[in-house]
Structure 1
Amino acid sequence: MNLLCPFWINKIPRLRTDSPSALSLADLLYCNVEDPNEVWTHVILGGYVIDVEWLFRVSGPLLMSKCTIVLISGEKGFLHKYRHLVLHDRFGRNRVKIVEPCLPIPFGVHHSKMMLCINNNGIRVAVLTANFIEDDWNYKTQGIYFQDFPRLKTQSENIVLNISSIEGKGMRFRNEIKRYLSCIGVASSMPKDGCIPLSLLDEFDFSGACVELIASVPGYHRCSDAQHYGLGKLKSILQSMQLPSSLDRNPPVLTWQFTSQGLLTANFLNSMKQIMSIDARNPTGEDKMDPVVRVVYPTETEVKNSLEGWRGGLSLPVTLRCCHSYINERLFRWGTVPQGSEVENERSKGLPHLKTYTRLTESEDGLSWFLLTSANLSRAAWGEWQHGGTQLLIRSYELGVLYDETSFLHVKEDGLFSVTPSRPVPIPSSADGDGLVRVTIKADTCKKDGGGAALFLPYNPLTLQPYVSTVQIQERRTNALAERSKSPLSTTDVPWVVDVPHHGEDRFGKEFHDVLSGDNPCKEYLHASHRLSRSNSQIRKKRMKYDN
């Protein structure tokens, strides 16, 4: 039986080979506006940066329907900017609501990417890694989780369905959505201007939810409250999974794939490693056996040769000051050549904007779990423990989903349920040449290859290609002679760092300084990234003290 996880990637128009697992934003926002049951009544879209004019240009149903639209933005002054658009006059005051979430802790941002679309058939829930801007959807590699959920049947129609919807993953999924929407000021249990009623979410049957939601919300989260967010939530989920322990007591193998990192500390890195190492034998993650960590991050050459050329590096805002030796010694390339092939994977030309964290099975032939999220490797995103681990400080809003071996779609004989039956979204799969790799999630280490729930990923966490310098560093650790020689590390693979000089022409014949000085289509994203960089600088200058 082919068990498939609800994971898709974005459709990149410039790639020669399309993938059945590739979706456009228009695919996700489509509805038949002539069908009263299918036309959207409410649409909630959240992102770090939103290009409103492009958003409505690619999604005709949003323009043609009369649905209430809520836009959640992390861009400061977004409401003021929107009011100066022609669309503001067209929609009037009540059609589109703008929400700029409260940021109670200095230097935090709203970084989540999500979508909720409601009609008379049910609700579509999507957790994304793409902002609502053209560059993110058409040129970069993104991850997409979404599921459609039907409306609850009345008690007289099916009492069993009502009971199942409030148990297990479905109940947790619904509660996490309600909690998160309340925190960002989009939903409320009391009548409130610009908010949808929380009770609206009780009208849907979430019993088919395949994943666990992991949100980060700014604040000082104490005691049991810390279990709801960031590192605390991840820890709680992994403890409840009771993953089988390594039979041979081998160290856990983790992959971290992100597009930016903050100022890292040893305590934060230890927290990440410990929590991601949790299994049945090591329920706290504090086992003295240090995990193997592999960091997937693009090289300077990969940026230069990408679909965007040098410009693509502007949305990989890692600065020299934020580089950390622990990460630098564990780097693996983003793009790899498929095994047995001499042809480069064209899909890897779309630079990553998705963020994924995984744990491999003991035999490294599959995944124990897989996490898709907006959260980069930073304390602001994941949080940092204070006061002996009783308080979790989080600065930013983030949203992600965790897949395990039970995270597969339940496809019935008449197909997968869709809230847009006139154009249902295709089930994930792969085609020759699309650059996707089939990887399975199987918590049971005794399962043979091929078992478990399948993901079609844009990179292969099982066969990563290390930087040449990573190989050299590993050899030094195991070879005393190599350690004594101290020969210079290879510069064949240089990790992309945005604020150092970059030389040579990209695939468009442009130098990096041309990109910085020219008219940049992703200028708003670049400005937002610079604000983050300045915030990090301010944190450093103020010498803010963190208790760990």
Structure 2
Amino acid sequence: MSQDSQHGKWDISSSDDDQDAGLPPSGMNSLESPRPPPAAGARAPVQVKPEVESRQVKPKVESRQVKPEVESRQVKPEVESRQVKPEVESWQVKPEVESRASPAGKRKKEASDGGWMLSDSEGDDDEEVKSVPPNPPKRAAPTPKAKRLKVEKERPPSPHGRLYYLDEPKDFFESRLPSLNDTYRFYLNKVTGLDQSYNRGALHIRDILSPLFGTLKESVQFNYCFDIAWMVEQYPSEFRDRPVLIVHGDKREAKARLVQQAQPFPHVRLCQAPLDIAFGTHHTKMMLLWYEEGFRVVILTSNLIRADWYQKTQGMWMSPLFPRLPAGCGASAGESPTFFKRDLLEYLSSYRAPDLQDWIQRVSEHDLSETRVFLVASTPGRYVGADMERWGHLRLRKLLCQHTDSVPGEEKWPVIGQFSSIGSLGLDKSKWLEGEFQRSLGTLGRSSPGSDPPMLLLYPSVEDVRTSLEGYPAGGSLPYSIQTAQKQLWLHQYFHRWKANCTGRSHAMPHIKTYMRASPDFTQLAWFLVTSANLSKAAWGALEKNQTQMMVRSYELGVLFVPSAFDLKSFPIDSHPFPVSSSSTGFPVPFDLPPTCYSPKDQPWIWNIPYNQAPDTHGNVWVPS
């Protein structure tokens, strides 16, 4: 059955059995309905990470297994509307003890053996599930011409234009020196299926690894989700065999699968990040690039899988090329006014990993003094005293207190957050969102505001997902579950629509995470943060023991821009960031301002309930099984 609420009518599949995250008891907005019948020829359940784009479709003849990050599908051309069999409710985590994980990916570490099990704890955050694509059946590869003709014949008309479905030219992602705005060094990713003007000044992973930015010797890839074979292909041929260290958080079977992925590549080594607190993930996304000419840091929001780099909106900060210091320099040499070098070394040291010791030494040997951003990181642990301000939202609060200034009427300057996943935040806003998070983000200077500033949260609606370039499958990277949503209906009053800052890019669903403070007329910024951290206590930390202890579950990383580091009073907002101009002085905010509040008809995207009333841009409907 279904239930109407102030946020629309929701249906939930009854496949949420008693091992899934618990639903509220009777009388507490329990939203249930019978499970939609599975499509004929459906595949066996697959294991995926929620950030990985994947979908199942009803094929014409036989079922087919597809890697989550591969954009391929079979279509019945004679049917206008097809069921996309999302992997949402059939996703599984298979620890040593066989147990089925919920779509929300809630996991709990057993104290005895470290195995992951489900948790119904009210305070636990919804975390992403590990991805293991099945081995596809072997079949003869079609010729490019035959494949192209088949695709053009089977696919329905696209509202984004005929060229959307065609393969991009081979040189679409070839590296060439792009027109970049080096003032802020904040960039978006290139997106296929859009007019090329929307990609000017944007970067693809092949651009980042291009010889145009340096002669690469070694690199480290910190991330949450990997397709190692795809990652290796993104390196230029001349650098493809250079040593790569992968820093990950996978355990047990997931780790074994990652090891198996790396076996064909002897130059790829693995480093496991310690995760000692339940529900924590290694969510940091960073590249360390060591060149013959120097050293570079890239902090970004993309996983190392194909889907994250092609039709999603992602953000990144790319440092300048840091030169090597002269021999004999002291430990404090090459420091920036933002203490970026010190904080990066502290973050790397928090892994307590022998494999990172050489990289810690390399960072210390380079001049990072040109850096004008602050590092905002999270690492798992429980912290007391002064250590509470080292990580998470208290770290951000401290930086905003020390490096921003109060402004007249600041109580009217809204805080704007944008993210792709939402955790369990409590039964009301006072539990964490207002009591901790909003207070931290509302800090401006050393004087405390008289009242909490407005908070606007950007999260895609069902309609945003339906009309996106990917259609409903884009929702596979927006893991907000019905189990979490129905416990925090109060949160949805903050929601605003996702609209990218140019009409064309609005169709690329966001995987970017940004937070900022803007003037009431949305012409100025007091600060801006791009980060891997979604809206969750696991990512940002939560106070415990009467606010005397800070507990953080996950690894996260981002960079904070404050006007004072750029000799400004505030950042002017660039209302037209595309095409990018190297002479622009405005900050390239990646979405439309002012944000558009949800209408009474709008619903936040919830990934484990069906949407079968209207087909998406590819003629699909969304039916979790």
Which residue identity does 1:56 align to in structure 2?
A: V
Which residue pairs with 2:59 in the alignment? none
Which residue pairs with 1:177 in the alignment? 344
Which residue pairs with 2:312 in the alignment? 140
**Structure 2 residue matching 1:507: 3-state secondary structure:** coil
Distance 1:430 1:296, change over 3 A: closer
Q: Do 2:319 and 2:371's aligned partners in 1 also have CA atoms closer than 8 Å?
A: yes
How far apart in 2 are the matches of 1:235 and 1:499?
A: 34
Equivalent of residue 597 in structure 2, options 447, 455, 466: 466
Which residue identity does 2:506 align to in structure 1?
A: S
Which residue identity does 2:289 align to in structure 1?
A: C
After superposition, the C-alpha distances for 1:82-114 in whole angstroms (9 at most, x for unaligned) are: 4434x62442xxx32212211111111101111
Q: Do 2:336 and 2:368's aligned partners in 1 also have CA atoms closer than 8 Å?
A: no
After superposition, the C-alpha distances for 1:29-68 in whole angstroms (9 at most, x for unaligned) are: 1227xxxx94322200011101101111222347534x32
- 1:509 paired to 2:619: yes
| CA shift for structure 1 position 319 | 1.1
Q: Which 5+ residue runs of structure 2 have no aligned equivalent?
A: 1-180, 568-572
Which residue pairs with 1:109 in the alignment? 281
Q: Which 5+ residue runs of structure 1 have no aligned equivalent?
A: 187-191, 339-344, 410-428, 441-449, 469-489, 518-548
How far apart in 2 are the matches of 1:431 and 1:292?
A: 21
Percent identity between the two aligned chains:
28
Equivalent of residue 209 in structure 1, options 371, 382, 393: 371
After superposition, the C-alpha distances for 1:385-427 in whole angstroms (9 at most, x for unaligned) are: 1223221100011001111114559xxxxxxxxxxxxxxxxxx
Which residue identity does 1:455 align to in structure 2?
A: F
| CA shift for structure 1 position 155 | 7.0
Q: Do 1:116 and 1:123's aligned partners in 2 also have CA atoms closer than 8 Å?
A: yes
| CA shift for structure 1 position 148 | 2.5
The range that moved more, 76-85 or 349-358, is 76-85
**Structure 2 residue matching 1:150: 3-state secondary structure:** coil
CA root-mean-square deviation: 3.1
How far apart in 1 are the matches of 2:315 and 2:386?
A: 31
How far apart in 1 are the matches of 2:229 and 2:546?
A: 48
Which residue pairs with 2:102 in the alignment? none
- 1:275 paired to 2:406: no
Which residue pairs with 1:47 in the alignment? 223
- 1:361 paired to 2:519: yes
| CA shift for structure 1 position 260 | 1.1
**Structure 2 residue matching 1:23: 3-state secondary structure:** coil
The range that moved more, 145-154 or 199-208, is 145-154
- 1:391 paired to 2:523: no
After superposition, the C-alpha distances for 1:314-361 in whole angstroms (9 at most, x for unaligned) are: 1000112322234211221102686xxxxxx11011100011111113
Q: Do 2:501 and 2:591's aligned partners in 1 also have CA atoms closer than 8 Å?
A: no
How far apart in 1 are the matches of 2:366 and 2:340?
A: 11
Q: Do 1:180 and 1:215's aligned partners in 2 also have CA atoms closer than 8 Å?
A: yes
The range that moved more, 202-211 or 356-365, is 356-365
Which residue identity does 1:510 align to in structure 2?
A: N
Which residue pairs with 2:400 in the alignment? 238
Which residue pairs with 2:425 in the alignment? 264
Distance 1:167 1:43, change over 3 A: closer
Which residue identity does 1:102 align to in structure 2?
A: P
**Structure 1 residue matching 2:296: 3-state secondary structure:** strand
**Structure 1 residue matching 2:557: 3-state secondary structure:** strand
**Structure 2 residue matching 1:321: 3-state secondary structure:** helix
Alignment of 1:116-515 (within 5 A): 116-154=288-326, 165-166=334-335, 168-169=337-338, 172-186=339-353, 192=354, 195-245=357-407, 247-248=408-409, 250-265=411-426, 266-270=430-434, 271-280=436-445, 282-283=447-448, 287-323=449-485, 324-335=488-499, 345-361=503-519, 363-406=521-564, 434=578, 454-460=586-592, 462-468=593-599, 490-491=600-601, 493-503=602-612, 504-513=614-623
How far apart in 2 are the matches of 1:132 and 1:64?
A: 16
Equivalent of residue 14 in structure 1, options 193, 196, 203: 193
| CA shift for structure 1 position 364 | 3.3
After superposition, the C-alpha distances for 1:302-325 in whole angstroms (9 at most, x for unaligned) are: 101111111100100011232223
The range that moved more, 142-151 or 69-78, is 69-78
Equivalent of residue 25 in structure 1, options 182, 194, 205: 205
How far apart in 2 are the matches of 1:242 and 1:434?
A: 28
After superposition, the C-alpha distances for 1:441-487 in whole angstroms (9 at most, x for unaligned) are: xxxxxxxxx9xx53223313x3211111xxxxxxxxxxxxxxxxxxx
Which residue pairs with 1:521 in the alignment? none
Which residue identity does 2:248 align to in structure 1?
A: S
Q: Do 2:325 and 2:334's aligned partners in 1 also have CA atoms closer than 8 Å?
A: no
Distance 1:226 1:127, change over 3 A: same
Q: Do 2:216 and 2:239's aligned partners in 1 also have CA atoms closer than 8 Å?
A: no
Q: Do 1:43 and 1:69's aligned partners in 2 also have CA atoms closer than 8 Å?
A: yes
How far apart in 2 are the matches of 1:174 and 1:98?
A: 24
Distance 1:437 1:39, change over 3 A: closer
TM-score (norm 1): 0.72
| CA shift for structure 1 position 181 | 1.5
Q: Do 2:410 and 2:453's aligned partners in 1 also have CA atoms closer than 8 Å?
A: no
Distance 1:511 1:228, change over 3 A: same
The range that moved more, 96-105 or 71-80, is 71-80
Greater per-residue helix proportion: 1
Which residue identity does 1:369 align to in structure 2?
A: W
Distance 1:350 1:74, change over 3 A: farther
How far apart in 2 are the matches of 1:430 and 1:237?
A: 24
How far apart in 2 are the matches of 1:73 and 1:167?
A: 28
Which residue identity does 2:337 align to in structure 1?
A: G
Distance 1:394 1:281, change over 3 A: closer
How far apart in 2 are the matches of 1:406 and 1:62?
A: 41
How far apart in 2 are the matches of 1:336 and 1:147?
A: 24
How far apart in 2 are the matches of 1:155 and 1:84?
A: 41
